[in-house]
Amino acid sequence: MARYLGPKLKLSRRIGSPIEDVPKHTSKRQLTPPGMHGYRGRRLRDYGIRLNEKQKLRHHYSVLEKQFRRYIAEATRQPGNTGEVLLRILECRLDNVIRRAGLARTIWAARQIVAHGHVRVNGRKVDRPSFGVSVGDVITLKTKIQKLTRENMESLSGHEVPGWLDFNPGELTIRVVALPTSDQVPFDVNTNLIIEFYR
């Protein structure tokens, strides 16, 4: 299973916007460009702007380039606005659903919970973070991980669960009640620039 193992904060600094909603990434002081003196370089041209937008979305969902290209191809084949379909596919990833419910602080923590086999979808163990959930799926956690997820929920007090998920904090179960729309994604990204990048 390939994944990025380098420093996560450097990704936020490189693209100039926080990829996670945690203080370490959202601090203004931390968002200077990487390097000793935060060298800004030249103004971005059209290609650089589109590349930056694509990298922003990739890093937010912790997806590598090869897999991201597959998602682009799949979104192109499906009917409807390609950008909205792409966001829907990425939002329906199992690791992202765990993060949106507030059971993990970051996408990397959510990915680890799934990869270690602590998550069940409709009663069956799923250990693939990229697993796509559908409407009607019920996601539960093994008892081993419930203490940690409750601690995560306490540290994320004030976290709002999106409307397309029905989360029961008492039983720690998540039900997918609808497909997410682009306005329910709490991350500012211009999908048109990303589609143009791959054309």
pLDDT tens digit string along 64-119?
999 999 999 999 999 989 989 999 999 999 999 999 988 988 889 999 999 999 99
CATH H superfamily, domain 8-89+187-197: Ribosomal protein S4/S9, N-terminal domain (1.10.1050.10)
Q: Considering the chain, tell me which residue range(s) the CATH 3.10.290.10 domain(s) occupy.
A: 94-178
For the stretch 150-192, pLDDT in tens is 888 888 777 788 889 998 888 889 999 999 888 888 878 888 8
The ranges of the chain annotated as CATH 1.10.1050.10 are 8-89+187-197
- The architecture that CATH gives domain 94-178 is Roll (3.10)
Residues 87/27, Cβ–Cβ less than 8 Å: no
Q: Calculate Rg over the CA atoms of the chain.
A: 17
pTM: 0.85
Q: How far apart are CA 148 and CA 15, in angstroms?
A: 31
Q: What percent of the chain has pLDDT over 70?
A: 88
Task: Determine the average pLDDT of the residues in 53-71.
Answer: 91
